[in-house]
Structure 1
Amino acid sequence: MSQFTHLDKTGAAHMVDVGGKDVTERIARARASVYMQAETLRLLREGGHKKGDVIAVARVAGIQGAKKCSDLIPLCHPLMLTSVKLDFDFDEANSAVHIEGQCKVAGKTGVEMEALTAVSVAALTLYDMCKAVDRGMEIRNIGLVEKLGGKSGHWQRGETD
């Protein structure tokens, strides 16, 4: 069994030293879903929400979340992100909005946490802006989809993950 990288031999938390790692392009994709009432989804899809373009605000919030990841997650390294993208897919059949985020960096450590933070903050923003019409919304299935680059190479979520 491998050791947690953020714990030393005594179990004390520490920030991993990435000084000796090579700078490589690293990419991570993550996803999250927000389930809601059909009427709430219709308002989002048609842009009929009284607060304006909720998706645009959620996109900007997700990008900002990725940029602030090291301020939120105690042992994350601050990264100079080269790209953050968020896509929103309306799923009528399941009354949900699926969010996929991708983060890129040329650096010494990966961007998985930034991608996960981006989709989480975007989902929370959707909830916040729509809660007046639908308090029963649920945020589900937050997870890493794929990561590329670095010493560990390419990882992709399989059908059974």
Structure 2
Amino acid sequence: MITITNKEEIEKALFVASAVSTDKTMDAMRFVLCEPDGETSRFVATDGHRAHWATMSEAHPAGAYEVIKKSKTELVLRRITDAGQFPDYRSCIPAKTELDISVDVLNQVWKTYTIFNRAHKFQDLALDYKYFCEAVSTAHTISTTADPHQPVVFTGNYTGAVVMPCRM
């Protein structure tokens, strides 16, 4: 059993658990995988179309876990022994942690997000970014005072998500 009481850690674990498959035929994707890494551990989950992962601040025992209790103050995960072989999620995670993107493309992403956010009431989008020049951000546009093809550098924090190609 893993019991998490830290609010930030609960949020990270629930983010990961939101990607657990609900398809009863995919036993290998119906759990959260925990991999210890020194004094921390990584939680990973996928449904075959997306993968979520987070680095937890303390080491937990390796294995497959299911969420059995969740509240604002406590999250409890129970180890399961009959889990299938979890897919190789590392092959989907980009090796490079920097992303070079033009401001025009970023502006289109921002516009798309705001349209979906109005329709579906997602939580606020948080992007950590920095320009190599001064940038201005508004609700619908992101522009810079320099070359529109000036690279933008994104840096991640403790959580990540990958949208995988859909199977047709």
Shorter-normalised TM range = under 0.3
Q: TM-score, structure 2 length as denominator?
A: 0.23
Q: TM-score, structure 1 length as denominator?
A: 0.24
Report 1 or 2 for greater relative contact order, CA contacts < 8 Å, sequence distance ≥ 6. Answer: 1
